Amino acid sequence: MSDLFKEKADNWDARPMSQILSEGVGKTLLDNVEVNSGQSVMDFGAGTGLLCGYVAPIVKRVVAVDISPAMLERLAQKVELHGKVETVCQDVLKQPLSEEFDLIISAMALHHVKDTEGLLSAFAGHLAVGGRVALADLDKEDGSFHPADVEGVYHHGFDRDELLQLLEAAGFSDVEFVTALEVERDGGSYPIFLVTARK
């Protein structure tokens, strides 16, 4: 599998969009999800660790999962995450991890996964009973958020009602949506939601 983010990894953290998204999602996550020192957390689609940087200082440990070796390499170089964050480069839909988590977080990764139902089922399979997900992504949009020729984008955002139904079908309850931020880009406004749910 080719690493679609290989060329972007070195400058990822310096991109204004990366900073805006991680700050908006990170703060909204901490405002809406109980995060404590006893928790083991999976960060799905962790990239360079911008989101897990918000929870790592608080929780027991974070397993940062991604399929981009280049992005995880950048994460592993961050001294502030050493001792708290472990990187795992694999597709958890095809090859699940052999442990359960108290919380699964994700920012802007869902639209890069073709099989949303399979992904939510995989999340449920990786959570302890009572564990939670906190997932951020785009509200349904017209396809203008990403350049037309970009690879690896399978969804132009998500309809909240449809995603709620998929979460419930995967065994989640207490599903709640909040708008984390709105991204202004090329004359358009794109809301980013954070959905939380309990297994």
Nearest residue to 184 via CA among 5, 16, 12, 30: 16
Domain ranges of the chain: 9-198
Where in 109-187 does DSSP place strands (E)? 127-138, 173-185
The conformation of residue 172, written as its DSSP 8-state character, comes to -
pLDDT over 90 at 185, yes or no: no
On the question of pLDDT at 9 being above 90, the answer is no
pLDDT for 66 = 96
Q: What is the pLDDT of residues 35-92, one digit of tens each?
A: 999 999 999 999 999 999 999 999 999 999 999 999 999 999 999 999 999 999 999 9
CA distance linking residue 88 with residue 167, whole number of Å: 25
Q: Residue 18: what are its φ and ψ, rounded to 5°? A: -60, -45
Is residue 193 a contact partner of residue 160, using CB atoms and an 8 Å limit? yes
Q: 9-198 maps to which CATH number?
A: 3.40.50.150
Looking at residue 62, what is its pLDDT? 98
Q: What is the pTM of this model?
A: 0.93
Amino acid at 136: A
pLDDT in tens, 124-167: 999 999 999 999 999 999 988 988 778 889 999 999 999 999 99
Angle (nearest 5°) at CA 161 between 103 and 193: 50
The 10 Å Cβ neighbour count of residue 196 is 22
CB neighbour class for 41 (10 Å; exposed up to 12, middle 13-18, buried from 19) = buried
Nearest to 24 by CA among 194, 195, 150, 176: 194
Give the model's pLDDT for residue 6: 54
Give the whole-angstrom CA distance, residue 33 versus residue 103.
Answer: 9
* Contact (CB, 8 A) for 128 and 171: no
| Res 146: pLDDT | 85
What's the residue count for the chain?
Answer: 199
Compute, in degrees rounded to 10, the torsion defined by CA atoms 27, 29, 32, 34: -110
